[in-house]
Chain A
């Protein structure tokens, strides 16, 4: 019991002067114990990825046919070979850069329009009543279904692809912002009013920061859907872009490039969600201390 009593009494520096600094061995051991969970997860993750590659390798080397046919599926080594070639190919890099640019423009527009619109709709009932029905009708239409319409609407292919990317990410952003606004604790609004805050300050100091977590959920989902929409649009109507690259590889019977295109899309999608998550940590420091 005395041990816990000292611990509860708080800082007692005089009682335990450090005799010798802990040795390197003890420090390593302590670090290991503290990070055991994370190390374990990393180790298992690495093993799982290696297993995936191994299974892929075996299925393709032995050309397994068991319901699905691996006869023409490229092996991981073949994909790596085409990757090694592609990174020196300016055309491949241009596909990637163009896709990223479309995502950047489409997604940014969606965020710049969707977030303020959601905030205003959440605050002013009339705006909500006017816009919500239209949004609800348009929302379930998948972005791919917009392709023919987009081609008619916009003078260039480039613009229609960006438009489709915009549409894909717009609705998740709008809906989540609205959801965040609807969940703002009314007691916090009252607290602000009692401290002399007027409408504008309440919007800036309470509604907006309170909705931020949901806004970022919307941005994350919106980014995912933006990639889905972009790739679909590029496959149908593009001349450049990583989606077009993947589809072209199929047409040109370059099977290794199909897998390369898919993996590139996956990596780019992952990278962009990580960027949004990082931005979220920067903007919401009170949540990252958890």
Chain B
């Protein structure tokens, strides 16, 4: 544990000339195109964008679940070709193993590494203690609240001491209050462990509040529309969200995303939406109804 906590910043993520397309009956569909991003060691970077822009696709490629069609993904200079415990991942659906207790869930990565039972039990207890979950170590995940489940999810991903932590809308299913607390917990853990974080969200406030840098993606096919440094000082307080600096950043990002969201929706309405509507309206045009 102590070795893990004191380690130097690590986990330099590089995504270069990245594109990803998949086959469909109408030919290849471009999900992400011509994308370059990077995360410096120890940096907290978020990706925001309209829904369906391919931000999760990009994250899954960094995790090693998806192979880029063109381009390359590296972590600390090593090419990513498949999932590994070096890149911890936290999912929106928590994805805890329901048949394992909280502690067994946290132990899982260590067990896969072949660590002896007593040793990994001790490690898991320590980590659960840091997250304030030691009282729940013997509970099954089903009994936990959403916020607790996700805390276990984060602790489980960190237990193996990964170089980077990838989070795919991890707080999307939580209520507003829990979300704020979880953001605080994540920040604390990140600062303590000094690992790199790549965080996907559609919540602009969350992205600004947590990140050193935010990438904003375009509508599908997704690519990087803008890269916004967040110069807010740390430690960050909840009250900062009312500061003029924060609000200015928020306004900027907001307008970028709105542009893209409208583009995404507009495209759909032109191609498909109108036909669909006409069928539903039994031949009346949209203008008639409005």
Task: Decide if the interface of chain B is mainly helix, strand, loop or mixed.
Answer: loop
B84 within 8 A of A: yes
A209 pairs with B88, CB closer than 8 A: no
A289 within 8 A of B: yes
In the assembled complex, the Cα of A50 lies from the Cα of B87 at a distance in Å of 65
Known contacts A196-B84, A205-B108, A286-B142, A212 near B99 by CB under 8 Å: yes
Interface residues of A in 156-196 (CB under 8 A from B): 185, 187-188, 190-196
Chain B interface size, as a band, is: 20 to 34
Known contacts A188-B95, A195-B112, A286 near B140 by CB under 8 Å: yes
In the assembled complex, the Cα of A188 lies from the Cα of B153 at a distance in Å of 12
A195 pairs with B156, CB closer than 8 A: yes
Known contacts A190-B83, A193-B83, A205 near B97 by CB under 8 Å: yes
Binary per-residue interface labels of chain B (82-106) against chain A in the complex, 1 for a CB within 8 Å, 0 otherwise: 1111011101010111111000000
A284 within 8 A of B: yes
| A209: nearest chain-B partner, CB-CB | B99
Residues of B within 8 A of A290 (CB): 142
In the assembled complex, the Cα of A192 lies from the Cα of B240 at a distance in Å of 38
A185 pairs with B95, CB closer than 8 A: yes
What is the interface of chain B, defined by CB distance below 8 A to chain A? 63, 65, 82-85, 87-89, 91, 93, 95-100, 108-109, 112-113, 140, 142-143, 156-157, 160
In the assembled complex, the Cα of A212 lies from the Cα of B100 at a distance in Å of 13
A201 pairs with B88, CB closer than 8 A: no
Residue of B91, B112, B142 near A196 (CB, 8 A) is: B112
Task: Decide if the interface of chain A is mainly helix, strand, loop or mixed.
Answer: helix
Known contacts A206-B97, A289-B140, A194 near B157 by CB under 8 Å: yes
A210 within 8 A of B: yes
- The minimal Cβ–Cβ distance linking B195 to chain A, given in whole angstroms, is 14
A109 within 8 A of B: no
- The minimal Cβ–Cβ distance linking B270 to chain A, given in whole angstroms, is 33
Most buried by A among B85, B108, B142: B108
Residue of A185, A188, A194, A209 near B63 (CB, 8 A) is: A194
B98 pairs with A286, CB closer than 8 A: yes
| B109: nearest chain-A partner, CB-CB | A195
A197 within 8 A of B: yes
In the assembled complex, the Cα of A212 lies from the Cα of B97 at a distance in Å of 13
